[in-house]
Chains A and B, each alone.
Chain A
């Protein structure tokens, strides 16, 4: 049964230690992938090479590019797209969808609390240090009531499937999460290249994102506004996500503006048009907090709108996401997500959090000291991957050294189990063959005043380098179309 008669997978090598999304341990194809597998099986690898070229040109024609910084001039590159789609069945999707809504709502309530009564801090459930040491906690937001009560209108939640077959959240992105335009364009490209295959599955559409986004953003319009005027504000064409900004504006049917296209008068925001000033009520902003208003934040920001923050504070304009949301997508706050979900919703996390052992708690410290080889040890106050020890890569001496460090200052360390991302068959250009590559999934959740929407699909990112766990587009990652099946 091992890939018999399937040319495309004839050289596919399965590493038994990794969780393969389409093959079971015994090498049989999982049910949801069977049709796909058979359809691909009727082709040769040469057919596939041709299709792949066709898909690439489709991306060029659609103008889907991103920019890589750090070279002399920013270069436009195509986001590598893999033609072998990822399929998520209804049961698994329900978990992801409900879990994403749960987290987004819990984060919204957490943000409201830490900018108002601060109960969760006063009760000691989340340590005050997480807030007081964060540069993303904006004191200007204390006591401000965002229109519609929403802070994180758009949340990009990154989930992975671990070797145990369960989904885990790795990160909540609630500043300006990007990537949704790729989801839609991947679908377009896949349908163009492989409509015959796509047609065999009942897959949820992803092209309804923009209309739902606009709809829900407008439920959080400022008080007293009847029909809101919505715009997307971008830092400009040199931003790596500019393509997405223009795509979203176009598909929502709203204006794409830069800071200089807007002005504030008497605490209301206006857009300059040929017919004269036009009031703006809802701004989907893709500019970071520190740059939105040079009179309130960084005075050297040429991207923002002078006076915008005061207009927001007075309730005359909606900013999505709200300023100051960044404090809640911090890595340290992540470790408290189970407590945050329990506190505000009295629920258990639907998608698991990677379990975090706080060495400040004696019983957890004991566990950590006894299980170092199975754990990743992280200092709580270091950012950017400094001081991290990965247990299974340490020698005996190093383990003893780490134990000593932790014992001397238990408050300074947390530990997590070593996570392994699942793998998915991915076409590798230079080898002209399919190989296992690690994948994750970014989901997009939109919160409105009393409704929410999760895009049925998402951005499956794939690490194209063998063994690499980093799936970011700027780090040589690619992406796959993601099919969420109907019943």
Chain B
């Protein structure tokens, strides 16, 4: 069973003064992996400059734009067609409670191999006063604990756009208990790592279900390495396991490794930027 998605990404930038030189890097191309296939894609910019593809530091495909002319306005349009396997997120045998899995977390080899995703970053380090805010119950399996945590995070924070940004410290998010998908994901990853389980930040698109056509942003969720199972996707914003509606672009330690758009713009004065993302499934088109 397959599901086909069409994704439209667009960004518009306006600068009050003329821009002499600029570089942009887009990290928005859905990755090819076991559960999804990128069938086709297109990218264009309003200045009709040549786009280049490259990779970021973690090997994920990027699009680069470097206009050869001065400008005040530039817009970007991308469209992707992705086939997603209709998967059952529970498509693995749930392990019985197993002490060996917890022992695995203590092994040096394991800790060395997963160092990048066990490391606390500035965005995924629990403040000292909250270090024990959620501890795993060793009478339950690691998977059960993470599932429970997924539910706990989705309850602990309220979804509220506009109150946080990419630089809001985790402590403030924990105290104010508001945020968007990035904040849910950072808090979730921080707790998972605090419990010695590897976690990584995932950036991608979410198909928001039947009948939903509204504009939206890119989505964020997490992948957790569960011994005996492997990487499993959790969406703490929606208290879901990542499923057919989650189209992955890339992963990293936190948002900073996954910024969908990085711009280096040589200009003075104010600027405005807007993005829109639409994800449509085949049936809806």
A→B interface (CB under 8 Å): 118, 121-122, 124, 128, 131-132, 138-140, 142, 263, 265-267, 294-296, 299, 306-307, 309-310, 313-314
Contacts and interface: CB of A to CB of B under 8 A. Distances in A.
A294 B56 contact: no
B264 A128 contact: no
By Cβ-Cβ distance, the 9 closest A-B pairs, closest first, are A140-B57, A306-B23, A310-B54, A295-B25, A294-B264, A121-B112, A139-B116, A296-B57, A118-B112
A314 B55 contact: yes
B262 interface: yes
Contact of A131 (B23, B62, B115): B115
B23 A295 contact: yes
24 contacts: A118-B112, A118-B113, A121-B108, A122-B108, A122-B112, A124-B108, A132-B119, A139-B58, A139-B116, A139-B253, A140-B58, A295-B25, A295-B56, A295-B264, A296-B57, A299-B262, A299-B263, A306-B66, A307-B25, A307-B54, A310-B56, A310-B57, A310-B62, A313-B59
B273 to A, nearest CB: 14
A263 B264 CA distance: 13
Given A118-B112, A128-B112, A295-B25, A313 B66 contact: no
Contacts of A131: 115
Contacts of A307: 23, 25, 54, 64
Nearest to B54: A310
Given A306-B25, A307-B23, 19 more contacts: A118-B113, A122-B108, A139-B57, A139-B58, A140-B58, A142-B116, A265-B66, A266-B52, A266-B54, A295-B25, A295-B64, A295-B262, A299-B263, A307-B25, A307-B54, A307-B64, A310-B57, A313-B55, A313-B59
B284 interface: no
B111 A299 contact: no
Contacts of A265: 52, 66
B118 interface: yes
Interface in B132-173: none
A191 B262 CA distance: 53
A124 B109 CA distance: 9
Contact of A128 (B25, B55, B108): B108
A198 to B, nearest CB: 50
A307 to B, nearest CB: 6
Contact of B56 (A118, A121, A296, A299): A296
A309 B55 CA distance: 9
Nearest to A265: B52
Nearest to A120: B112
Interface of B: 23, 25, 52, 54-59, 62, 64, 66, 108-109, 111-113, 115-116, 118-119, 253, 262-264
Contacts of A299: 262-264
Nearest to B263: A299
Contacts of A266: 52, 54
Residue in A138, A263, A307 whose Cβ sees the most chain B Cβ within 10 Å: A307
B21 to A, nearest CB: 8
B200 to A, nearest CB: 11
A138 B111 CA distance: 17
A142 B116 CA distance: 10
A267 B61 CA distance: 12
Contacts of A267: 54
A63 to B, nearest CB: 31
Contacts of B25: 295, 306-307
A303 to B, nearest CB: 12
Contacts of A310: 54-57, 62
B264 to A, nearest CB: 5
Nearest to B23: A306
Contacts of B52: 265-266
A138 B25 CA distance: 20
Nearest to A133: B119
Contact of B57 (A118, A121, A294, A313): A313
B263 to A, nearest CB: 8
B111 A309 contact: no
A307 B23 CA distance: 9
Residue in B57, B59, B111 whose Cβ sees the most chain A Cβ within 10 Å: B57
Residue in A118, A124, A138, A310 whose Cβ sees the most chain B Cβ within 10 Å: A310
Nearest to A119: B112
B120 to A, nearest CB: 9
B254 to A, nearest CB: 12
Contacts of B23: 294-295, 306-307
A363 B262 CA distance: 53
A307 B108 CA distance: 35
A131 B59 CA distance: 21
Contacts of B264: 294-295, 299, 306
Contacts of A309: 57
A121 B111 CA distance: 10
Contacts of A142: 116
Contacts of B109: 122
A128 B58 contact: no
A124 B112 CA distance: 10
A31 to B, nearest CB: 52
B116 to A, nearest CB: 5
Contacts of B58: 139-140
A259 B182 CA distance: 33
A142 B117 CA distance: 13
Nearest to A138: B57
A263 B111 CA distance: 39
A266 B64 CA distance: 9
A295 B263 CA distance: 7
A140 B59 CA distance: 8
A82 B62 CA distance: 54
A313 B62 CA distance: 14
B115 A263 contact: no
A313 B60 CA distance: 12
Nearest to B257: A139
Nearest to B22: A306
Contacts of B116: 139, 142
A349 to B, nearest CB: 25
Nearest to B118: A132
B66 A263 contact: yes
Given A263-B66, A310-B56, A132 B262 contact: no
A128 B110 CA distance: 11
A263 B266 CA distance: 14
A128 B111 contact: yes
Contacts of A314: 55
A100 B116 CA distance: 32
Nearest to B264: A294
A266 B55 CA distance: 10
A160 to B, nearest CB: 34
Contacts of A121: 108, 112
A306 B67 CA distance: 13
